[in-house]
């Protein structure tokens, strides 16, 4: 049974006449890593908010269809309940972190759940360790780099023990090195702890090879879903105007994918192909 | 905002680790003294009594900044009183003593509150409010307000820079025009603050805010022996000051 199921979801914000999402269907299996991308304003952020019930529970508006996460129909459960199944990481860590120490930040969620103090303590330790930031526990979020802040935000959500993490452009405000570090953390969480990932990202170069499937949203519709190589090498993807990775462009321009039948997603795999071809 | 001593930095001094509630008792008692007395010498004494705490806490730099930041107000209070009292009594000596008292009173207040805010982590303040049975929502609102002050001031700076680079002249015209010059700063600032508030609310809800009526706290504040002695000492000092009035009749 899929862990996330979106069934013919359409949504219009209150006061808006045009729907932001139109007939979106997607099902995600437990442990999958889904990369969601698309041009700005295509509805990615809105879709993220639908996944943990902020839409429609806190936003209102016209909501049709159904979103089921970990067996919960989002319209039938309050956000705080869904939050224990789906963690949502936002774009700008400045608005996500509001405590003066990393430890307290991570404790905020479990505290809200009114768990016993020992359990809160245990979850804080575990979450910090999972993200690899135990050494930052006493720092103030303001002293940290953007990448570290985003890791704190991720740890703060892991403390709620969600099976699914939804990340809305978590690297948008980060430099390439920090972005890579955050993305590696996500990959590790997915591979080692089996957390289902739904990652909204523009930096396709960095993430395409991590994902099991890639989905492209355009003007509120899910236009392409499939293996990352199939989606990114398709002509439709090129037409939509997402940042097709350079590797893909070069491979296509040289016709290597047609010649070898292989679709590399990283510079390294392309280099390997070329090396074989040269010999 | 830094000028008013909200510039909390983590510290490990004895003053830092005191329970906020005991520091609050000290603050209340000594605030009462500054309001109660008008004798400049007593007020100077009250002011000076806060200095050892500043030194022990090692927050001298921030404390000085608070005092320096309030110098303008102190000068204002001094001059205003001087003119006002001279006008009504006609006595230069009276006016001088009274305005010195008023300025000292203000300085003492700034100093006492600076000690409190410079050595109390915002969360501990929130936690002590919760333990004093103030609803968590109100306590958190207060905490958040403090947390977002630097964020907002940074944002105001960015908006000011943006509007200036589009030709807005903030320092132009008389006082009324100058106030009006700030409208193009205020409107974007207010709108972006509302948006930010919404995003923060989303982030809080995503972390199960409001799930339980009584949430747990990772840390619970407990009054220890040092708190007991600190309160005892504050109360003793308070009574000693009061005895000046009772025994010596100092106002």
**A103-114 burial by CB neighbour count: b if 16+ within 10 A, else e?**
bbbbbbbbbbbe
**CATH code, domain carrying A200:** 3.40.50.300
Q: Is residue B215 part of a domain?
A: no
Q: Is residue B36 part of a domain?
A: yes
B28 with B145, same domain? no
Question: Quick check: B6 and B201 in contact, CB under 8 A?
Answer: no
A260 with A216, same domain? no
Digit-coded pLDDT (tens) for B28-44? 999 999 999 889 999 99
pLDDT mean over A142-166: 93
A223 with A268, same domain? no
- pLDDT score recorded for residue A103: 92
* A83 → closest Cβ in B8, B206, B215: B206
Tokens of A265: 């997603």
A276 with A140, same domain? no
B97 with B177, same domain? no
A128 with A67, same domain? yes
Question: Quick check: A238 and A250 in contact, CB under 8 A?
Answer: no
What is the torsional sign of CA A135, A129, A127, B218?
Answer: negative
Digit-coded pLDDT (tens) for B111-132? 999 989 888 888 788 888 888 8
Q: B122 and chain A: CB distance < 8 Å anywhere? A: yes
Q: B9 and chain A: CB distance < 8 Å anywhere? A: no
The residue range of the domain holding A11 is 4-242
pLDDT mean over A197-216: 94
Digit-coded pLDDT (tens) for A53-98? 999 998 989 999 999 999 999 999 999 999 999 999 999 888 889 8
B160 with B38, same domain? no
Cβ of A114 and B211 within 8 Å? yes
* Start-to-end Cα distance in chain A: 47
Tokens of A246: 């350079």
Question: Quick check: A22 and A10 in contact, CB under 8 A?
Answer: yes
Q: Count of domains in chain A? A: 2
Digit-coded pLDDT (tens) for A5-26? 999 999 999 999 999 999 999 9
Q: Is the pLDDT of residue B25 over 50?
A: yes
Digit-coded pLDDT (tens) for B54-88? 999 888 888 898 888 889 999 999 998 899 888 88
B110 with B132, same domain? no
B109 with B137, same domain? no
The residue range of the domain holding B98 is 2-120+222-248
B111 with B226, same domain? yes
A70 with A121, same domain? yes
B136 with B25, same domain? no
What is the torsional sign of CA A253, A258, A263, A268?
Answer: negative
Q: Is residue B216 part of a domain?
A: no
Cβ of B199 and A114 within 8 Å? no
B40 with B104, same domain? yes
* B218 → closest Cβ in A98, A111, A140: A111
Mean pLDDT score of chain B: 88
B14 with B110, same domain? yes
Q: Is residue B21 part of a domain?
A: yes
Cβ of A80 and B151 within 8 Å? no
Cβ of B205 and A109 within 8 Å? no
A238 with A249, same domain? no
- pLDDT score recorded for residue B248: 79
Contacts B208 to A, Cβ<8 Å: 79-81, 83-84, 109, 112-113, 160
Contacts B195 to A, Cβ<8 Å: none
pLDDT mean over B154-181: 88
Mean pLDDT score of chain A: 92
A115 with A71, same domain? yes
How far does B43 lie from chain A, in Å, by closest CA? 35
B228 with B108, same domain? yes
Cβ of B212 and A113 within 8 Å? yes
Residues B224-232: contacts with CB under 8 Å, at least 24 apart: B224/B19, B226/B14, B226/B17, B226/B18, B227/B18, B227/B19, B227/B21, B227/B22, B230/B18, B230/B22, B230/B23, B230/B26, B231/B22, B231/B25, B231/B26
Contacts B16 to A, Cβ<8 Å: none
Q: Is residue B212 part of a domain?
A: no
pLDDT mean over B97-105: 92
Q: Is the pLDDT of residue B3 over 60?
A: no
Q: B248 and chain A: CB distance < 8 Å anywhere? A: no
Question: Quick check: A49 and A37 in contact, CB under 8 A?
Answer: no
A256/A244 Cα distance (integer angstroms):
16
Percentage above 90 pLDDT, chain A:
77
- pLDDT score recorded for residue B112: 93
A140 with A207, same domain? yes
Question: Quick check: B191 and A92 in contact, CB under 8 A?
Answer: no
* A54 → closest Cβ in B121, B205, B217: B205
- pLDDT score recorded for residue B6: 54
Q: Is residue B211 part of a domain?
A: no
**Confidence band of B1 (pLDDT split at 50, 70, 90):** very low
Q: B205 and chain A: CB distance < 8 Å anywhere? A: yes
B155 with B243, same domain? no
A95 with A158, same domain? yes
A200 with A83, same domain? yes
Percentage above 90 pLDDT, chain B:
41
Question: Quick check: A65 and A10 in contact, CB under 8 A?
Answer: yes
* B208 → closest Cβ in A95, A113, A124: A113
B108 with B31, same domain? yes
Question: Best mutation site among B139, B150, B206, B210 for testing chain A: the one with the most A CBs within 10 Å?
Answer: B206
Q: Is the pLDDT of residue A45 over 70?
A: yes
Rounded to two decimals, the pTM is 0.83
Question: Best mutation site among B124, B136, B144, B208 for testing chain A: the one with the most A CBs within 10 Å?
Answer: B208
Q: Count of domains in chain B? A: 2
């Amino acid at each position: 049974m899929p862990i996330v199921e979106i069934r013919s979801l359409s949504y219009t914000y209150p006061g808006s006449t045009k729907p932001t999402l139109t007939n979106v269907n997607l099902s995600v299996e437990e442990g999958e890593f889904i990369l969601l991308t698309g041009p700005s304003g295509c509805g990615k952020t809105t879709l993220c908010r639908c996944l943990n019930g902020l839409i429609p529970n806190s936003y209102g508006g016209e909501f049709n269809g159904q979103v089921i996460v970990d067996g919960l129909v989002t319209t039938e459960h309050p956000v705080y309940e869904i939050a224990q199944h789906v963690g949502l990481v936002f774009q700008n860590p400045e608005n996500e972190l509001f405590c003066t120490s990393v430890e307290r930040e991570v404790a905020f969620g479990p505290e809200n759940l009114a768990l016993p103090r020992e359990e809160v303590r245990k979850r804080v330790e575990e979450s910090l360790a999972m993200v690899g930031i135990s050494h930052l526990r006493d720092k103030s979020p303001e002293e940290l780099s953007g990448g570290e802040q985003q890791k704190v935000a991720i740890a703060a959500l892991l403390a709620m023990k969600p099976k699914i993490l939804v990340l809305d452009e978590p690297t948008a405000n980060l430099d390439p090195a920090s972005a890579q570090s955050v993305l590696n953390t996500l990959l590790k969480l997915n591979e080692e702890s089996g957390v289902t990932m739904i990652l909204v990202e523009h930096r396709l170069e960095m993430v395409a090879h991590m994902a099991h499937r890639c989905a492209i949203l355009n003007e509120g519709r899910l236009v392409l879903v499939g293996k990352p190589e199939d989606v990114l090498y398709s002509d439709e993807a090129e037409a939509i105007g997402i940042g097709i990775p350079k590797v893909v462009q070069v491979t296509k321009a040289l016709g290597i994918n047609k010649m070898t039948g292989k679709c590399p997603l990283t510079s390294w795999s392309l280099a390997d192909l070329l090396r074989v071809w040269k010999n | 905002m830094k000028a008013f001593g909200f510039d909390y930095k983590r510290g490990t001094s004895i003053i830092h680790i005191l329970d906020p509630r005991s520091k609050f008792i000290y603050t209340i008692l000594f605030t009462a003294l500054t309001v109660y007395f008008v004798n400049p010498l007593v007020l100077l004494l009250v002011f000076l009594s806060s200095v050892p705490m500043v030194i022990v806490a090692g927050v001298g730099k921030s404390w000085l900044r608070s005092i320096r930041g309030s110098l303008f107000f102190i000068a204002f209070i001094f001059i205003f009183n001087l003119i006002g009292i001279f006008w009504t009594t006609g006595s230069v000596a009276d006016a001088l003593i009274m305005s010195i008292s008023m300025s000292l009173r203000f300085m003492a207040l700034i100093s006492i509150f600076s000690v409190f805010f410079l050595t109390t982590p915002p969360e501990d303040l929130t936690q002590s409010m919760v333990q004093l049975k103030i609803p968590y929502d109100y306590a958190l609102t207060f905490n958040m307000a403090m947390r977002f002050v630097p964020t907002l001031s940074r944002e105001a700076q960015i908006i000011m820079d943006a509007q200036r680079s589009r030709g807005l002249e903030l320092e132009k015209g008389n006082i009324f025009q100058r106030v009006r010059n700030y409208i193009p700063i205020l409107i974007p600032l207010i709108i972006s603050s509302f948006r930010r508030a919404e995003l923060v609310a989303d982030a809080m809800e995503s972390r199960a805010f409001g799930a339980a009526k009584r949430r747990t706290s990772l840390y619970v504040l407990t009054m220890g022996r040092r708190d007991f002695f600190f309160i005892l000492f504050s109360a003793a000092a308070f009574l000693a000051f009061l005895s000046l009035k009772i025994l010596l009749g100092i106002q």
